[in-house]
Structure 1
Amino acid sequence: MTASYKPRTGNKTSVKAERSLVRTWGVRGLLLALFLGFCSWANSINERFYVLTPEALNETVQSSLKLAASLQPEESVSPGANATLIIGTLIDHLAKNHPEARWSTDFKNKRDWVFNNAGGAMGSMFILHASITEYIIIFGSAVGTEGHSGRHTADDYFHILTGQQTAYEAGDLEREIYNPGDVHHMKRGVVKQYAMGPNSWALEYARGWIPLMLPFGFADGIFSTLDLITLYHTVRITGREMIGNLLIGKI
């Protein structure tokens, strides 16, 4: 009597599954490599799209601080009035000295101010200019804040206007201190803990691929504060400025 034999399919199924898994991860690896290659190429060309320089902006900040100080009455004024005078003077100078950029200048319009929660820090900001490769904002807090700087693909220049900012990198045992007129340059890829005292305001200039910074700016609003109204206004204002610049050819 001849014994019957039925082929086993389990091993074939297992081999197919393994091949499918290898193919899936191979495709993912290829896509990741292509993405990283694209980012490397993009970082090699973004210089051609900048219309502003940190040096020129710092000259404008310094002259604005001096002019605001000369206009300040001798008697003491409130921190809010001092910040208003400095920011107003600075924005006038930015629009006058840098006509190559498109500016939003109505900083007294509260609809264009939004809270920003990012890296555990909370402040408010007014967007002066936002394009794909550059943004300039007034950022700070009337009550003070501290948190994580984020690790970004853009260089960030914090021009202190009022108050004080402190920061340090992991491993540093002494803080960095930045006062009005100082510039805190956060190099791309560098991460720090930072703090701003009460009534601290700064002109923040970032240059690089700005859309890659947006997830960090939106994450707390989505997963922590759940403040969807503020998130909506942030997207509305940022999108308005970026699209407005794209329409005039500014990337």
Structure 2
Amino acid sequence: MNQVINTTQPLSILYQDTDLVAINKPHGLLVHRSMIASDASEFAVQLLRDQLGQRVYPVHRLDRKTAGVLLFALSDSMNSIMQQQFMDGAVHKSYLAIVRGYTPDELTIDYPLRKDDGNGVTGVLQEAVTHLKTLQQTEVPLPFGKHTTSRYSLVKLTPTTGRMHQLRRHMAHILHPIIGDRPHGCNKQNKLFKEHFEMNTMLLHAQQLTFTHPVTEEPITITAPFQTEFGRMLGALFGDTI
């Protein structure tokens, strides 16, 4: 089940100039129409186009379940330039996630992933690297299995490659899956959060993008505040320590 999106409210614009615009994408909103998500009727491209009254071009992608900074170009030529920046690794991306268990203080996950084009995983291995930094750990009185408490970590994830579902697959690989992730996460933890917190959102937030503006050549940093559900779960798990 995907989180219901309230499209009666305008999208939150984080940055806008004559060439680019960035929004804070809600959890559950597709970037654009997809054959693998035929149940969706609203898309970020369509909503932002109607909101601004002009055509917009998504220069990168976020998973449907991921919230946070999503950047668009306002012309086809700028779209090509910014897509090249992403391909060249010239755009710095950072995410926050709430994951199962206590993660290491810092870790570089260098684990190739089989190519996934949205229609299934192929046999082709692609380089995939993610840097992890643990920001906070918590143990809460929430029974799980044979344990009387549950442990979680808030982590900062910085990918240096851009493979499909990279962060989700990397965190599953090191046995610290992102809460709310399906199918890469822990179904028992997801069920626990749904029953105890009435939460069915994936707790992954695209916090920040940093890049050099192609026209002005100035450094641009765009930061997205937490969407409601991510903020609620931070409070429930970590309290006032964040």
Normalised TM-score (structure 2) = 0.25
- Structure number with the higher helix fraction is 1
- Structure number with the higher strand fraction is 2
